[in-house]
Structure 1
Amino acid sequence: MKTRPDMTLTEDNAQGNIMRLLIALGGNALLKRGEPLSAHNQRQNIKTAVEQISKVTEGNELVIAHGNGPQVGLLALQGAAYTEVDTYPLDVLGAETEGMIGYIIEQELGNVLPRDSSIATLLTQVEVDRKDPAFNNPTKPIGPVYSKEQAEKLSAQKGWVVKADGQYFRRVVASPKPKKIFELKPIQWLLEKGAIVICAGGGGIPTAFDEDGCLQGVEAVIDKDLCASLLARSLECELLVIATDVAYVYTDFGTDKQRSILQAHPDALSELALPAGSMGPKVAAACEFACATGNTAIIGSLTNIGQTLEGGGGTRVSTEYEGLTYATVSPKNTA
């Protein structure tokens, strides 16, 4: 079902509609930039997220996807510290983070919803192309942030590719495009039975078929926003919400000329020069969803999801808008 681009969740529910929506939680929103990679910090941030998410569960069908960049990088570092065996590949580490983060989201969401709420976390395998050009140009940031000096030292020691991520530097790995979500039918079955589904964590587990037709893991990390867009389209969601650590998509981000974008046509938004490893994929995912479905995608702050869904924030992307519409006053980057 197609909805108005400016329709709020309350308006849609008041018309007797059940909205199927997908909320994608950014890895950097679940673990703030520069924050220690501790289990306590992640749980506290997830508590903040689910308090917002709980406001939109009643009367709707909800899918939750999440990032894993900081977490999968941490597991890789921990694995490298144990030299008795080879470091586990990124697909296995991705599966570990799906279980770890999904478990905390499921538990904390269950703590704020009625006890009879059905919530399920599902490991999700996603097909990629082994010949994807992304393997020749790593862009996906994983792990903690480093100073320039630290990053250069680690790059020399470990052979990592490192790139700037805001004012810090991070390790980057290949991020091929998702082609197919293998667990799509089980996700649909769970939604139809009234469950909230947590899936496609970290963009899902990257897999590809070998020459014998067997599915194998791939050394990569799929961008969770592009996977969320594919999943939302495959599930025929009415709304895609990409929750991150900033309130809007901005032009001239972090400068005195910074401007908040309130509404955007996908074509106009796609023309902006945005960071390839962070906001770029979010915008690409939102535009892809809006163009393919005619429905709306929203990019906004994790801490204000409830308000955003009621029209109180975030950048709305729809083919029904013209060009870019800016806020009259654009505050500095605050989530």
Structure 2
Amino acid sequence: MVAVGGNALTRPEQLGSAEEIAANAAAMAGALADLVRSGRQLAVVHGNGPQVGNLALQQDALAATVPAQPLHQLSAMTQGQLGGVLARAIDAECGAGTAVGLVTHVLVDAADPAFAHPTKPIGPFLDRREAEQLARERGWQVVEDAGRGWRRVVPSPRPIGIVELAAVRTLLAAGAVVLAAGGGGIAVSAGPDGRLTALDAVIDKDLAAAALATAVRAEELYLLTGVDCVHLDHGTPRQRPVHRLDVEEAARLLAAGQFPPGSMGPKITAALAFLRDGGHRAIITSAGLLRDTADGLPGAGTCIERSPVPMANLA
């Protein structure tokens, strides 16, 4: 299971044009194709934070002419958009029909506290004045994000189930590269009669990938990010890479604040959830080092495993 960030498809310095997204998807597909050609069975979850936020801005800008759609509909739209782009890019590398995009609904608890405390940044970075103006005009909540500007935040409940799980398993068994739970999936809750209700939220794609990986009994979870590996004391003079961790040490470092919620924290949390539910290993790395980390090249990426690792590997 590979989780690809939405920022990898629309980079922070980009506007998010179709051409930019397609070029970024082509670069990502090259890394994914290396795994396919090595004989691995592959499923992919992608993020959609920049894209769903941009789409919301477009919707609101023309709301007086065309009714704006709710957030759960925008999540479905970006699943189709990005899933299609990635599928075509993977097919270009591995042959037509290799990849299949599946619009996926993900179960959450309607009473999840996340609905009262939005934390998931979406859309472009804004200056404070513009962000606060949009918040007043549209009823948004906005926060400063990683020192790079202000962004809208929306609820991000924890995933508790994959609605289309049987279809994902069938496609994997048929040999397809499956793109599922895009953008974390469309958040839905189940009523007493089993009927699903869509909810306005954006599920964290790393947590969705961990849930899906557990459900399909994947052995490995790859969480791709903009850095080659995890660092301890990030942004300080003591910053140093860490290439191997066990579950206990990763959990201790997370609790100690080494991995902030706005950056590496969700990836460590997702990795721990996957491993505690039976996964073999979780790897955090960049797309450029994906194949090297998959092959166990020393010093490539950060590998978190259930079995203890020597403390010397933390240096």
| TM-score normalised by length of structure 1 | 0.86
Q: CA deviation at 1:258?
A: 1.8
Partner of 1:83: 63
Is 1:320–2:300 an aligned residue pair?
Answer: no
Q: Tell me, in whole angstroms, the C-alpha distance in 2 between the residues paired with 1:323 and 1:130.
A: 42
Q: Please state how far the C-alpha of 1:326 moved relative to its aligned partner.
A: 5.7
- Whether the 8 Å CA contact 1:263–1:324 is kept in 2: the answer is no
For 1:244, which of 219, 225, 231 is the aligned residue?
Answer: 225
Aligned partners of 1:260 and 1:326 also within 8 Å: no
Residues 215-253 of structure 1 show CA distances to partners (whole Å, capped at 9, x for unaligned) of 111010111110100100010001100111121222222
Query: Following the alignment from structure 2 to structure 1, what is the Cα–Cα distance between the partners of residues 313 and 115?
Result: 36
Give the stretch that moved more between structures: 227-236 or 82-91: 82-91
In structure 2, the CA distance between the partners of 1:133 and 1:189, relative to structure 1 (3 Å rule), is: same
Q: 1:153 to 1:298 in 2, by over 3 A?
A: same
C-alpha distance in 2 between matches for 1:256 and 1:32: 27
2:158 is equivalent to residue 158 of structure 1: no
Gaps of 5+ in 1: 1-21, 329-335
Tell me if the contact between 1:296 and 1:318 (Cα under 8 Å) persists in the aligned partners: yes
Shift of 1:176: 0.3
Query: How far apart are 1:325 and its partner, in Å?
Result: 5.8
Equivalent in 108, 113, 124 of residue 144 of structure 1: 124
Change (3 A) 1:259 1:154: farther
Residues 157 and 250 of structure 1, relative CA distance in 2, 3 Å threshold: farther
Unpaired stretches in structure 2, ≥5 consecutive residues: none
1:62 paired residue among 15, 19, 42 = 42
Match of 1:45 among 5, 24, 34: 24
- Matched residue, 1:199: 180
Name the counterpart of 1:333: none
Percent same amino acid among aligned pairs? 39
Tell me the equivalent position of 2:211. Answer: 230
How many Å separate the matches in 2 of 1:170 and 1:222?
16
CA contact (8 A) 2:218 2:279 kept: no
What is the root-mean-square deviation in Å for CA atoms of aligned residues? 1.9
One-letter code aligned to 1:82:
L
Highest RCO, 1 vs 2 (Cα 8 Å, sep ≥ 6): 1
CA contact 1:204–1:227 (8 Å) conserved in 2? yes
The CA deviation string for residues 159-197 of structure 1, in whole angstroms up to 9 with x for no partner, is 322223222222111000111101000111111111111
User: Partners in 2 of 1:171 and 1:24 — Cα distance?
Assistant: 23
Deviation at 1:306, TM superposition (A): 1.6
CA 1:258–1:292: 2 relative to 1, 3 Å: same
Output the amino acid matched with 2:33: S
- Cα distance in 2 for partners of 1:211, 1:288 equals 27
Are 1:50 and 1:109, in contact at CA under 8 Å, matched by a contact in 2? yes
TM-score by length of structure 2 reads: 0.91
Partner AA of 1:290 in structure 2: L
SS at match of 1:61: coil
Spell out, residue by residue over 1:1-51, the C-alpha distance to the aligned partner (whole angstroms, 9 max, x if none): xxxxxxxxxxxxxxxxxxxxx111011122222322211111111111111
Q: Which residue of 2 aligns with 1:35?
A: 14
Residues 276-285 or 99-108, more deviating: 276-285
The amino acid across from 2:280 in the alignment is N
Tell me how far apart the structure 2 counterparts of residues 24 and 204 of structure 1 sit (CA, whole Å): 13
1:301 equivalent in alignment to 2:286: yes
* Structure 2 Cα separation of the partners of residues 163 and 253 of structure 1: 21
Count of residue pairs brought into register by the alignment: 306
Displacement after TM superposition at 1:150 (Å): 3.1
